[in-house]
Structure 1
Amino acid sequence: MPLLGILASAEPVAAQPIQTRETALLQDAGEYARAYGVSPTEAFRRLQVQHDSVAATDAISSRYRDRLAGISVQHRPDYRFIVYLTGSEPVPETRIKAGGTTAPVIFRTGAKASRDRVVWALTNHQAAIRTAARSYPSMGVDPRTGELVVIAGSAPVAAAGGAAALDAALEKLTSVPVQVRVLDRVDRNLALRGGGRLDGIDPASGKRFRCTSGFMVSDGQRAGITTAAHCLDDLTYLDPQRRPTPLSFIGQWGWGYHDLQIHGGPAPDRPLFYADTARTIERPVEAQRSKPGTRAGDFVCHRGESTGYSCAEVELLDFAPAGELCGGFCLPTWVAVAGPTCKQGDSGGPVFSGTTAFGIVKGATFRPDGSCAFYFYMSLDYLPAPWSLLIEKTRSPPTLANQARSRATRDFFR
């Protein structure tokens, strides 16, 4: 039976709650309040500032482009933005109007290199850094310190003469400030396990694997759902009642800066995704956050089929995962987010804050005990043309009758 027929014949189920931007932020604010020990009201205020301040920090980034080492969000002891600049010429503190309030912007000077220069050094010296580090380290840019961060295991760092010696050698090699972090870890794609369960059987091994669906996309003619390229091509979507719907494979992009697979289906009435562990709450996608507009310290959430819903801070930008996880070595285009929540099966899942979509989960770095050090995602900036994210359009609230009619089709896309 065609996919549309399968969906149309699905048994009706009760409509699930669909969040507004405000209720979505309230849910995330609960996680923020627990993480930083502030009241839910203050957490909600801060997340409103986070969302509404992007244009202002983008303007600061543009104005100080030649001097900019990084922009980051500080959460303790208060909420503020830190702008780190090269040179010694001071810039007075200012304030950003966002979220119905204001937030201070503090300018620090004395950075040794601009962000553009550090990114250039990372991009052009990856192979030499791997040779000097005697391993396949992960690398990224920390906007808080303006440094090129190299994360390597204790054994190769010791073989290179220790962290201080390796740090000095890499600074000489790249001509930018370097911070060597020692972390015994295993980097891997989050293998098979927007926010819904995808199952498949590997024809080579006969084993069943799992991934997570991401966001709805369109090429102008077809609708599709994203997941990670390293998931199986032949996948079945399982709704919250575990009813299966076979998916139709459209395409795969998995080299360098991509880890994306798209499966097709009928056009949805709304671009919704699950935003809770139990898959009982749906959110619309109302905006897309660009990679240049993402700041270290931004508080983002993800939903994975193995770990459910969780939130944490953006740690590193322009991140290159260790090893050959991108059909070879990865380019420094990924974004790393702090653990401790990631697991096999989360691959392809949505990364978001409120009703704003950030990216889809690719992989993670695990400590020797199996705990999650951090995960990394592909920005939606890298959706291949002509595919683009489906965004919620302004519309009247749906009637209960319309919700019931459309539920079977919508459910395919979680």
Structure 2
Amino acid sequence: MVLAHPAAAQVQTREAALAQDAGEYARLYHVPPDEALRRLRAQNDSVAATDAIARRYRDRLAGISVQHRPDYRYIVYLTGDLPVAELHIPAAGTTVPVTFRTGAKATRDRVIWAITYHQAAIRAALPSPPSMGLDPRTGELVVIVGNAVAAADGGAAALDARLEELTGVPVQVRVLEHTDVNLDLHGGGRLDGISPSDGKRYRCTTGFAVTDGMRTGITTAAHCLDDMTYYDPQRRSTPLSFIGQWGWGYHDVQIHSGTAPERPLIYSDTARTIERPVELQRSKPSTRAGDFVCHRGESTGYSCAEVELLDFAPAGELCGGACLPTWVTVAGPGCKGGDSGGPVFSGTTAFGVVKGASYRRDGSCAFYFYMSLDYLPAPWSLLVDTGAAAPLRRGPIQNHH
């Protein structure tokens, strides 16, 4: 915003950003760095092709997912028995196999409709409200319950059958002792504020630069405090001006502004010494189970993992009541209080802002969930850099995170 750009900060090129994420991919999947980079380039370059497949087979489509082991390919799951031959799509100078599986019991659209229409009935049918979402790998409505709930209903298989009868779609009950919560505001800082309700200091993470066409702002989570101060890596502070908050149903975002225009940059390392430009936005319909994404939060720093569930509705009353099934989950263990509002990204492509997480009984992170940038409130939209192939020049504006 108004502070000098820290001399130690490094603004990445597009290739350097992708290479950083590929380093995490190589570590997690035990593949050579060049293979990891090839796969992430293919992931980003194949979206149009898998979108076209989704449109072509919409009447049969149960889900599209990314397979990482034993090889890298895309799996398209279809209803019916009519087979579809494997094909190969060109992506980033290579080709990626696409395997079609048949025999799904319901289409993706039908499962999403069932979640939306029967959410209240599912919540009412169980002792405590479960979380639920679509697993594109199996074409099932996933319902996540605790051990006590499963046992009270005769076990997961009996609960499966009862919920399938209620919803008319295939159900997979997952038993997990967990608690879905908004990621709370303590745990490390970039945004600081003092709560007027209890006088305590809380912290959050900023997300992406946005614009309404006339001014720019920076996002964080709606459940963060309204009155926040930004702290740069040198702990210099800049007060922010609250613009607006949207926190109901499918929203968890608020927007602040500083005294100078924002730039489309995010920190992409734990120490906040590396910045990367934001070039593109990935829509929720184009997001696939298995997509490899990263996020940065003030508590957990930089980490990467796979997208798991789409059209997810967290348990509890985290959205001013029950949440709509619009959220996206990403596998743990990289989440903790203080990460709220942080950016979810892959390379220089923005996906969403972190809302909350599901914690196991021992306190570990089972998964976190984010709000897609599709749901930025009008007239706000993501601020993007259109010339990010080369490094951005350093300027006097800094507080852009």
Aligned to 1:210: 203
Structure 2: distance between partners of 1:210 and 1:135: 30
Aligned to 1:92: 85
Q: How do 1:98-137 residues align onto structure 2 when only pairs under 5 Å count? A: 98-137=91-130
Q: Secondary structure at the match of 1:315?
A: coil
- 1:412 and 2:399 are equivalent in the alignment: yes
Structure 2: segments with no counterpart, 5+ residues: none
Aligned equivalent of 1:352, options 316, 338, 345: 345
Structure 1: distance between partners of 2:331 and 2:254: 25
Aligned to 2:266: 273
Structure 2: distance between partners of 1:299 and 1:395: 21
Are the aligned partners of 1:301 and 1:351 in contact in 2 as well (CA < 8 Å)? yes
Measure how far apart 1:397 and its partner are: 5.4
Structure 2: distance between partners of 1:269 and 1:304: 19
Aligned to 1:251: 244
Structure 2: distance between partners of 1:384 and 1:14: 35
Q: Secondary structure at the match of 1:125?
A: helix
Aligned to 1:261: 254
Are the aligned partners of 1:364 and 1:376 in contact in 2 as well (CA < 8 Å)? yes
Q: Assess, with a 3 A threshold, how the Cα gap between structure 1 residues 214 and 269 changes in structure 2: closer, same or farther.
A: closer
Q: Root-mean-square deviation (CA), in Å?
A: 1.5
Are the aligned partners of 1:351 and 1:357 in contact in 2 as well (CA < 8 Å)? yes
- 1:342 and 2:335 are equivalent in the alignment: yes
Are the aligned partners of 2:211 and 2:380 in contact in 1 as well (CA < 8 Å)? yes
Q: Assess, with a 3 A threshold, how the Cα gap between structure 1 residues 31 and 114 changes in structure 2: closer, same or farther.
A: same
Measure how far apart 1:268 and its partner are: 3.6
* TM-score, length of structure 1 as denominator length: 0.94
Q: Structure 1 residues 358-367 or 122-131, which shifts more? A: 122-131
Are the aligned partners of 1:187 and 1:322 in contact in 2 as well (CA < 8 Å)? yes
Structure 1: distance between partners of 2:44 and 2:329: 19
> Which structure 1 residue ranges, 4+ long, deviate > 4 Å from structure 2?
395-399
Aligned to 2:221: 228
Structure 2: distance between partners of 1:12 and 1:43: 32
Aligned equivalent of 2:370, options 373, 377, 402: 377
Structure 2: distance between partners of 1:296 and 1:148: 14
Structure 2: distance between partners of 1:316 and 1:379: 13
Q: How do 1:181-192 residues align onto structure 2 when only pairs under 5 Å count? A: 181-192=174-185
Are the aligned partners of 1:196 and 1:413 in contact in 2 as well (CA < 8 Å)? no
Aligned to 2:191: 198
- 1:158 and 2:151 are equivalent in the alignment: yes
Structure 1: segments with no counterpart, 5+ residues: none
Are the aligned partners of 2:262 and 2:399 in contact in 1 as well (CA < 8 Å)? no
Are the aligned partners of 2:239 and 2:258 in contact in 1 as well (CA < 8 Å)? no
Are the aligned partners of 2:64 and 2:74 in contact in 1 as well (CA < 8 Å)? yes
Measure how far apart 1:72 and its partner are: 0.1
Residues 93-126 of structure 1: per-residue CA shift (max 9 Å, x gap): 0001001100000000000000000000000001
Structure 1: distance between partners of 2:122 and 2:9: 50
Are the aligned partners of 1:222 and 1:267 in contact in 2 as well (CA < 8 Å)? no
Letter in 1 for 2:360: R
Q: Assess, with a 3 A threshold, how the Cα gap between structure 1 residues 240 and 73 changes in structure 2: closer, same or farther.
A: same
Letter in 1 for 2:134: V
Letter in 2 for 1:412: N
Aligned to 2:173: 180
Structure 2: distance between partners of 1:329 and 1:269: 34
Measure how far apart 1:393 and its partner are: 2.1
Measure how far apart 1:394 and its partner are: 2.5
Are the aligned partners of 1:189 and 1:362 in contact in 2 as well (CA < 8 Å)? yes
Measure how far apart 1:203 and its partner are: 1.2
Q: How do 1:46-65 residues align onto structure 2 when only pairs under 5 Å count? A: 46-65=39-58
Measure how far apart 1:302 and its partner are: 0.3
Aligned to 1:318: 311
Structure 1: distance between partners of 2:93 and 2:266: 28
Are the aligned partners of 2:357 and 2:367 in contact in 1 as well (CA < 8 Å)? yes
Structure 2: distance between partners of 1:396 and 1:130: 48
Measure how far apart 1:317 and its partner are: 0.2
Residues 115-153 of structure 1: per-residue CA shift (max 9 Å, x gap): 000000000001111122321100000000000000011
Q: Assess, with a 3 A threshold, how the Cα gap between structure 1 residues 338 and 191 changes in structure 2: closer, same or farther.
A: same
Are the aligned partners of 2:178 and 2:358 in contact in 1 as well (CA < 8 Å)? yes
Residues 229-282 of structure 1: per-residue CA shift (max 9 Å, x gap): 000000000000011110000000000000000001245463111000000000
Are the aligned partners of 2:262 and 2:400 in contact in 1 as well (CA < 8 Å)? no
Structure 2: distance between partners of 1:151 and 1:339: 16
Letter in 2 for 1:151: I
